[in-house]
Each structure stands twice: as structure tokens, then as C-alpha cells.
Structure 1
Amino acid sequence: MKPMNLDAMREATRLTREGRLSEAMALLQGAGPTPDGQAAPSHHGPTIDLTASAPPARKGDGMMSKDRLNDLASTLKTGLKGLNLGSLGGTQTPVPEIAPGASFAEFRHADAAGSRSYRLYVPGRSKDGPRPLLVMLHGCTQSPDDFAVGTGMNALAERHGLIVAYPAQDRGANTNGCWNWFQPADQRRGSGELAILAGIVAEICEAQSVDRARIFVAGLSAGGATAALLAAEYPEVFAAAGVHSGLPAGAASDMPSAFSAMRQGGAPVTADRIRVPTIVFHGDRDATVHSTNGDRIVTQAGGTKASSVEVRNGRSDGGVGFERSVYRDDAGRSFCEQWILHGAGHAWSGGSAAGTYTDPAGPDASAEMVRFFFAVGDSASA
């Protein structure tokens, strides 16, 4: 069991006092907060969290001693009988399907800000000029392959002639494989992970024939929070963003404020911080990231200043009810969409059961995002 700093220890203690023992144990084991009443199926791997233990500190910097950690773990285990702790373990990564003539190669980008690996899907269909590019940011504990399978985005890429990049978080940067959306150094343009991800985009643009007016970013959970940050900090690079079960840009500045933002929505946000068209998906029963965060992303995308809002209620083929709100400007152009998924938790809507953290019964978030992105791209080029 790895050492834990005092912030994480206090959070585990708070969860224990509230009787939320599975969450506390998950935090102790490095899996972060577990959704209330939403234990992940054992074949779906560990529950997604959006934070990780802080980097190892020097002796005397508030690290919890091994004896104290073991004592707390023992106390927690007393109340863990009957819980499926196997769901906190790893699983075999699914293998994405690759269409004839397509490629799904792995690369590693390095620059002054750091380095990250990424998978790149290039469709096999014949090329008619430069192609759009979509950057897909996985959630915690996920991998590019897992995320590709779960979202089904490669099949959509093949259908629409879309290049898709799947950056991978290094476990050395975050023990749970989370993007560090809550650390100030990784929230600013030209710094940390945002700079690395922007560098990956630039590298792909040099190597592939990319339509630079149609570069998009989307993500789930911690990846969604990072997608919001990229949209806010690099509006000249990204034409639109998709945020699924994520948080607004700058929602937290450390681990305690990250937990607070996840539970309550964090501090009020600044309108118009995200200056590119944005589509948001969030389940109203999400116990990992409160659905208020989806509302605040809409605010950041200028939703409160819309000239008109069109609201439609519906139900997916799988029986999941939803409310879709379309925000339009003075010219009648859609610049923001919000999908509230009734009864849904912390999972990619309409995804494949072969991947982790998906809700196959929900509306197809991948298809709706691609539709939104292409409509934005067509409007920009008109």
C-alpha cells in the first residue's frame, strides 16, 4: 500500500465517519472516491476517480506513517465485509477493431513540458483533402485502447473520415492514470499537461493532412475536465469541445478543492471562459461528479447569454430519458448543447459494454458529439 498525504487521509476518515466505507477503502488503495451506490461490475475494473494521491513528499511533509495507515485500513476492513473489492482490481484491456486499410499506431510525443504516449487512428477510407482531428481524453484507470472500445469512436472515425488521437496519461504523473485537471501547473496554457497535449496536436498536424479549422477535443470524467481546460486555454487550436461527466475549467486547485468540486460543483465559474462551441453530457444520478458541474460548463461556454434555448425531452432506444438543450446565438447558430441523462451515473452514454465505464442503454454520446463537431466545422467554413 502506497503512502498517503494528510489531505487524502482526512478525506478517507471523513468517508469512514459517514459510513461510505467502499469509497474510503478505494481511496486508501489508490482508486480515489467511489460513487455512492454505484459499485462497478467486477469485469469493468476499478471505479473511475478524478484525483490521485499527491507525489511522494519528503519525510516530515505530512505523510501518513505506515503504522497509522495500516491501522486505518484495518478499521475500514472491519466494515467492508460483503463488499466486492474485486471490482477495484485491474482487467485485461480490450482490443479495438481496426477497419481494412486503417491504422491504430502508438507514438510518443516529447517536448520541453514533458512527454506522453498516444494512439492515433487514421481511417482506411480514401482521403478527400485534409481530415478533421479529434483528441479523445480517457478517464482515470482507463487506457487509449479501452477508451476507443468503450466509446466506439474508431467506427465513427471510419464512417466520417476522422483522425482520432487518444493520449495516454503516464502512471508516473498520476498513480490512477488521471489527467491532473486539479493542479495549477496543468491548468495553464504553455504549461504542464495542457502544453504536452497541444504539442501532440501540433505533431499530428505535421505528420498528417489535418484540417486545422476542424480540430476537436472530448473527454470523460478527468479527461472531460481536461478537455474543458484545453478549450479554454487554446481556443485558436480547438474548434469545439465535448465534455462527458466532467468539470468546468479551473474547478479546483488542489486535492481538497477537487473533492469539493466533485461533490458540490465547486466555486462559481466565469461566464465565457470557454470560447468555443461545447457539447455537454452528464447523468443526473452521477455520484462521482455532481451534475451541477455540467450546468457550470454550460455557463462557461456562454449559455447564460444565449439568444434562445430550445429544449427537447426524449428517450433513448435503451430506455434512458434525457433532456437536450440547444443554445443559439443571435444568428440562430447553435454554440452549446447540454444533455441531461435521467437516472444515469458516471459512464459514457451509449458506449459499448466491451469497454469500461459505459452505459450502453443511453443516447449515443459519441455519435452526437461527432454530429455537433461537424456542424460547427461546417458553420465555420461557410
Structure 2
Amino acid sequence: MLDQSIVNEATRLTRAGRLVEAAALLQRMLRGEGASSGTMGRAVRVGPARLEPPTLDVKAHVVEERKGGRPTEHASIPGHRRPAPLTGVKDFAGLGLRGLSRRAPPSTSDIVPDGASFIEGTFGNAAGSRTYKLFIPSRAPAPPRPLIVMLHGCTQSPDDFAAGTRMNFLAEEQNCFVVYPEQPHGANQAKCWNWFRAGDQQRGDGEPSLIAGITRQIMRDHGIDPKRVYVAGLSAGGAAAAIMGATYPDLYAAVGVHSGLACGAASDLSSALTAMRQGGAPVATVKACSAVPTIVFHGDRDTTVHPDNGDRVLDGLGEAESRKAKVVRGRVPDGHSYTRTIVTTAQGRDISEHWSVHGAGHAWSGGSPAGSYTDPRGPDATREMLRFFMEHPLSA
């Protein structure tokens, strides 16, 4: 059980920016419970780098179609067992209590394809300033092109996240721009987006205003198609992406959330710990992402962010009684099996996809080992998110 007085004091220290003291306080409270190792605070040990992540099994098949109800029920998946509950605060990505990854920086060849550009930029407003890296495809300027906003996880950088997801390489194929805003140590000790703070969950304020400002600056400077602007992220970045979809549905046409949490899943340290342990429901302070098509990837062995959070991200996307769900199960050759749930409205419009990756932990599915926190055994979250995005331009 959590000692509420200690949690309250840790919350006060966190709001004051005294993260080390907050961490020490919580660690003393939980000493002796045995923390779960997870995967977010260490490099995943995998085999040699692969230029192309595994492809999906072409024999994947529909196993169920139903009306209404929750998009995914983990208990119904054959052989599924719930992950062990989190038992130590070092698993809390919002505080970033895990040590920084000590891996070598990725090489340029792992980040950007030949002929394309990856440039630095800065945006500032009343909430502060953030640097970013922008991928510009190599093709000659064409009609307005899409833009993908990628929000990294804790301890990551734009270069690391680009190398791990290989989004730039797929964006080169699709002639898309990709921007990677960077969270500095000064905003969060472990470079996590502050998804759990009420002040960073509102349109026009805090980090959402900075991310939206970067997005609009790129749109203005590079002739982006305003109907094809998208946002995606991993872990704390996935939670931030869900917030962006909720607060700026007029800006982002679709959202991708990998191993993240729903917009409004937490409003302080105590509720964040609860949401990460057992899944959290959106609260009234932030609206559900009902207007924004959303694709979710989540490993069902994630011990850092409970898999039920993937379901919570999609709660509220259309009225349950009018939705239809199609369930497809398959397996990546020599990789993970998965359950893909596609939800459509009564009018036949796809509004969400939920990919539950069986046996996967807290890592980007199908990513490259050139980056941190990736699982090359697939399925390929980058390719599937980009495909989903291109299918969902902003509604008029």
C-alpha cells in the first residue's frame, strides 16, 4: 500500500522540480518490495541490426467480428497472463528514475537515408522553448506533403528515436516530413514528457503548446498539407501524443500511441503510479480523443506501463453501441504473435486499431536495435502507423 502522506510530499517535491529528493523519498517508502526490471531503463539485448524489421504474417486471419464493447479484452486472448504489478518507483517513467542508457550514439546511416536531410531547429513561446530535429525527404518539392510528429520516450533523443523506429526511412518512401521535438533535462530529469502534470495537459499551455507550436512552424516553413499532420510517441511520448490528439483535434488528423497512456490518465504523481500499475481511465479535465482516429501498439508483457492502458487510450472513440470490431490474429515470421482489433463506426469508417503484441515488453515493436528500447521481433509498428496515418486525412 502507498503511504498517502509520503506520496503527497513526493508530489510537492516533484512540482517544485526537486526530482532527486522525490525519488529518494519514494524509494525509501518502497524499499524491500523488489522492483521489476522492465525494459525502459536499459538497452535491449538483441541480435545484429536489421535494415528492415520483420513483415507481418500474410496468413493472418480474422477470428472474430462483434458489435460494441471494448476494443480489446486481454483476458480473452488464449494463453495470456497478466503482467506482474509494478513494485518499485524506478518503473515510473514520469519521474525518470532509471539510469540513462549507456549505449553508443547511433550512426548517421542508421538515422537518415542517403540524399535526405536531418536538420536542427528551435521553437519558443511563453511556455519556454524546445529544440527539434526535422527530417526532409530527398525528393524534389511536390504538392503539399504530410508531416509526422514523433515524441520520444524517457532518456531518448531525436537521433536515438529516429534510429530505433526507422521512421525517416519509411517517410522517405512516402515523401513525408518528420519532426522530433526534444525534451531537455531541464524540463524533466530523465527527458520524459510530463504527461502526468495537469499543466501539461491543456490546449495553449505548457508542453502541448510547445509541441503544437513546433508543428505549426514546420507547416508554415515547408508547405505541409494541413489535412495530413499526425502525431505519435513511445511511453511518456505516447501519453503526450494522446494528449495532443485530445487538445488539438483540429491540428492532428490521427494519433499513434505506443506503450503509452490515455489523455487524462493521471493528474499528479499518485494517480500516475496507479495508472501505470493497473491502467487508468480518462478524467474530466481532459477530453477523450473521440474525434481523432488512433492506432495503439502495446506489448502484453509490459511491466512498465500496464497493457490495460492501451485499451484506455481508445475508450470514448465513438459510441460503443454503434461500433463494430474485427479481430485479426497472426504472427511475424520468427517473431511475436499479435492480436489486431480494428474498430469501425456504423458508417463503416475505421476509427481505431489496437495491436496487442504477445510476449512483448516495453519497447517499440519491430524497431531497429540501432536505437534504444526496441523489439525487432515485430510486428512493424512504424510501417503500420504510417499506413494508418495515410488512410486518415483530417476530416473537413
TM over 0.5: yes
Is 2:66 the partner of 1:51?
A: no
Is 2:301 the partner of 1:292?
A: no
2:201 is aligned to 187
Is 2:203 the partner of 1:160?
A: no
Q: Find the partner of 1:309 among 325, 340, 360.
A: 325
1:176 is aligned to 190
Alpha-carbon distance in structure 2 between the residues aligned to 1:14 and 1:266: 23
Alpha-carbon distance in structure 2 between the residues aligned to 1:207 and 1:39: 37
Deviations along 1:315-354, whole A, 9 cap, x unmatched?
0123201000000012211110000011110000000011
Alpha-carbon distance in structure 1 between the residues aligned to 2:128 and 2:356: 36
Alpha-carbon distance in structure 1 between the residues aligned to 2:178 and 2:149: 6
1:12 is aligned to 27
Deviation of 1:126 after TM superposition, in Å, equals 2.8
What is the aligned-residue identity percentage? Answer: 49
Aligned-residue CA RMSD in angstroms? 2.7
Conservation of the 8 A alpha-carbon contact between 1:123 and 1:162: yes
Deviation of 1:301 after TM superposition, in Å, equals 2.9
Alpha-carbon distance in structure 1 between the residues aligned to 2:190 and 2:29: 21
Conservation of the 8 A alpha-carbon contact between 2:40 and 2:373: no
For residue 162 of structure 2, give the secondary structure of its aligned residue in structure 1: helix
For normalisation by structure 2, the TM-score amounts to 0.78
Is 2:374 the partner of 1:362?
A: no
Q: Find the partner of 2:117 among 99, 103, 112.
A: 103
1:120 is aligned to 134
Alpha-carbon distance in structure 2 between the residues aligned to 1:114 and 1:171: 13
1:245 is aligned to 259
Structure 1 residues without counterparts, runs of 5 or longer: 24-33, 55-84
Alpha-carbon distance in structure 1 between the residues aligned to 2:298 and 2:114: 34
Alpha-carbon distance in structure 1 between the residues aligned to 2:202 and 2:381: 28
Is 2:283 the partner of 1:280?
A: no
If asked which structure has higher relative contact order (CA below 8 Å, sep 6+), I would say 2
Alpha-carbon distance in structure 2 between the residues aligned to 1:36 and 1:351: 14
Deviations along 1:153-187, whole A, 9 cap, x unmatched?
00111000110000000110001000000111111
Alpha-carbon distance in structure 2 between the residues aligned to 1:226 and 1:303: 24
Supply the AA of the counterpart residue of 1:323. Answer: T
Is 2:361 the partner of 1:341?
A: no
1:92 is aligned to 104
Conservation of the 8 A alpha-carbon contact between 1:138 and 1:147: yes
Alpha-carbon distance in structure 2 between the residues aligned to 1:96 and 1:233: 34
Conservation of the 8 A alpha-carbon contact between 1:350 and 1:360: yes
2:54 is aligned to none
Deviation of 1:191 after TM superposition, in Å, equals 0.4
Deviation of 1:113 after TM superposition, in Å, equals 1.8
Farther-moved stretch of structure 1 (237-246 vs 249-258): 249-258
Deviation of 1:101 after TM superposition, in Å, equals 3.2
For normalisation by structure 1, the TM-score amounts to 0.81
Deviation of 1:272 after TM superposition, in Å, equals 4.3
Alpha-carbon distance in structure 1 between the residues aligned to 2:96 and 2:249: 31
1:224 is aligned to 238
Supply the AA of the counterpart residue of 2:347. Answer: A
For residue 139 of structure 2, give the secondary structure of its aligned residue in structure 1: coil
1:12/1:48 CA distance change after superposition, 3 Å = closer
Is 2:391 the partner of 1:375?
A: yes
1:261/1:113 CA distance change after superposition, 3 Å = same
Alpha-carbon distance in structure 1 between the residues aligned to 2:390 and 2:18: 46
Deviation of 1:4 after TM superposition, in Å, equals 5.0
- List aligned pairs for 1:197-216, cutoff 5 A: 197-216=211-230
Deviation of 1:304 after TM superposition, in Å, equals 3.1
Deviation of 1:226 after TM superposition, in Å, equals 0.2
1:356/1:36 CA distance change after superposition, 3 Å = closer
- List aligned pairs for 1:75-90, cutoff 5 A: 89-90=101-102
Conservation of the 8 A alpha-carbon contact between 2:40 and 2:362: no
Alpha-carbon distance in structure 2 between the residues aligned to 1:99 and 1:267: 40
Conservation of the 8 A alpha-carbon contact between 1:307 and 1:327: yes
1:65 is aligned to none
Supply the AA of the counterpart residue of 1:266. Answer: G
Alpha-carbon distance in structure 2 between the residues aligned to 1:156 and 1:296: 28
Conservation of the 8 A alpha-carbon contact between 1:8 and 1:53: no
2:65 is aligned to none
For residue 391 of structure 2, give the secondary structure of its aligned residue in structure 1: helix
Farther-moved stretch of structure 1 (291-300 vs 238-247): 291-300
Supply the AA of the counterpart residue of 2:229. Answer: I
1:158/1:315 CA distance change after superposition, 3 Å = same
Larger proportion of helix: 1
Q: Find the partner of 2:153 among 136, 139, 162.
A: 139
For residue 119 of structure 1, give the secondary structure of its aligned residue in structure 2: strand
Deviation of 1:15 after TM superposition, in Å, equals 3.5
1:58 is aligned to none
Alpha-carbon distance in structure 1 between the residues aligned to 2:190 and 2:260: 16
Structure 2 residues without counterparts, runs of 5 or longer: 1-16, 48-89
